[in-house]
Amino acid sequence: MNGLFDGLALLDLDGHIRRWSAPEAGRAEGEVSQWMAAAQQFAARLQADPRRLSDERLRAVGAAWAALISAAERSTGPQHNEWLLRDLWLRAWMLKKMGLRPDVPLLDPAPVFERALDAIPMSSAQAAALAARWLELDHAQKVEFLPQALELRRIRHLLNAVRSLAPLPAEHPRRGEFQAWEQVAPGLP
């Protein structure tokens, strides 16, 4: 789509919804910085006054936002969870601001928790062991351990995105898994 990234700052929320809901937007190519600008402008318009939006408009917003994030990741790759984190942070912010509405996908907390947990590449026990090891290393050893430390940092970022939400309901099948991560998170580098 020619001009997809032109005039992002000039679009209102409806303009962003139309742009990112268009079928050709999902096939667009762009540089990481262009996709970041698109996501940032869309989120800024949404966060300006989300309370005025009806459930129907929030559904349209959620579909357009998901299309933008999906197209960005398809075009540029995951960028160390950049697109996932942007999605999680915006959804968590919306949930805190607007409250839970399971019939509005953008305001359903379960997928937020599940996507964060699905992106974590190891168990909480493995992460706790690596984090404890990190604390024992001297400076030279930490340089060698840096790839593992960066992986632990990415896990911490994923958890931070969802920890601000209310705890998962007792009946959620992954509640215990999330609780285990809540215990490990403070010790991650």
Give the count of domains, the chain: 2
Instruction: Write the Ramachandran bin of 64: left for phi over 0, alpha for psi from -120 to 50, otherwise beta.
Output: alpha
pLDDT of residue 2: 64
Q: Does 158 lie in the same domain as 96? A: no
Residues 96 and 12 in one domain: yes
Share above pLDDT 70 across residues of the chain, in percent, rounded to a whole number: 98
Read off the pTM. 0.89
Q: Residue 46 belongs to what domain range?
A: 1-107
Give yes or no for a contact between 47 and 93, defined as CB atoms under 8 angstroms apart: yes
Among the three residues 107, 139, 172, which one is the final residue of a domain in this structure?
Answer: 107
| 95 shares its domain with 138 | no
- pLDDT of the residue at 138: 84
Query: Which one-letter DSSP state was computed for residue 102?
Result: T
Q: Is the pLDDT of residue 166 over 70?
A: no
Among the candidates 107, 137, 152, a domain finishes at 107
Asked if the structure places residue 164 within a domain, the reply is yes
